[in-house]
Amino acid sequence: MQLRDIINQMIAQHLRAAQLTDLSVGTVISTSPLEISTNPAMAPLKACLLYLTEPVVEKKIPGTVACIENGETLPVEDGYTILNRGLEPGDAVLLLRVQRGQKYIVLSRIMEGG
């Protein structure tokens, strides 16, 4: 084995060990407490390991304002117009694993049918 092969092997091992950022897809298992599964063979990710971004957090305004999005009226619940629903079990989400794989950023829901 040549020196360059040994160096390439060492670099590859280091990169695997560093667990650099990576995109992955997960499925919301539960919302209270929040748990997201990325691999059926592994335990789900718990809320303490997740950072939520604005697109996955519920947003609502008081009153029954007639808001239309994509030709459909936004839902009204308990006197609030729901501008953006929160995560629900079964939602597919796009995750960004941060370096060393200790935490994940929930970037957005993945919509079916594009």
pLDDT at 113: 65
Give residue 96's domain range. Answer: 21-59+87-109
Asked if residue 44 belongs to a domain, the reply is yes
Query: For each of the chain's 114 residues, which pLDDT tens digit applies?
Result: 799 999 999 998 887 777 666 888 999 999 999 999 998 898 999 999 999 999 999 998 888 777 777 777 888 888 888 888 899 999 999 999 886 778 999 999 998 765
pTM of this structure: 0.72
Supply the CATH number for residue 55's domain.
2.40.50.140
Asked if residue 26 belongs to a domain, the reply is yes
Q: What is the count of structural domains for the chain?
A: 1
C-alpha angle 7/99/106, rounded to 5°? 145
Helix, strand and coil content of the chain, in percent to the nearest 5, comes to 20, 40, 40
Asked if residue 70 belongs to a domain, the reply is no
